[in-house]
Amino acid sequence: MSAGRICSRVVVTASSNESIRVAAQHMAEKEVGTIVVVDPSRVPEAVGIITDRDLAIRCIAGRLDPDQTQISKVMTAPVQSVDEETPIEEALSRMAGAATRRLVVTGKGRSLIGILSLDDVLELLVEEAASIGRLLEKQRPTIPA
């Protein structure tokens, strides 16, 4: 299975020069905890990623003014990404090596097509385990009483 098959294709983006407050408003409006950051001069290529945790730890706890601080000051960069054809096993290895829970998924020309989270992979594993459980249940031998 490839990263592109299970990644979320609904991606919220923001410009690197927008304020932290604008990023937080995007998160609230779209009900997401992660935004892919793009540089207006390099769209559609991702240049960073910012999470709700980044807002709390790097901005609020760091006593930065969310109205005056640009996203570029608190985002994680460079962004970790994989091609949409990358096998899940390789994507997981990439996550582990980079100590991240999310990867930007790219297509032709490194264009942004989605975001793969550790939760996406866990959801796939749960579905596969459930399928195996159903198969085993059907194959359970019956012993007459």
In 52-108, DSSP assigns E strands to: 81-83, 102-106
pLDDT value at residue 145: 64
Write down all domains in the chain, each with its CATH number in brackets.
3-138 (3.10.580.10)
Predicted confidence (pLDDT) per residue in 6-51, tens digit: 999 989 999 999 999 999 999 999 999 999 999 877 767 899 999 9
Q: Enter the tokens of residue 48.
A: 């960073």
66/93 Cα distance (integer angstroms): 34
Radius of gyration of the chain from its Cα atoms, rounded to whole angstroms: 19
- If residue 15 lies in a helix (H) or strand (E), which one and from where to where? strand 13-15
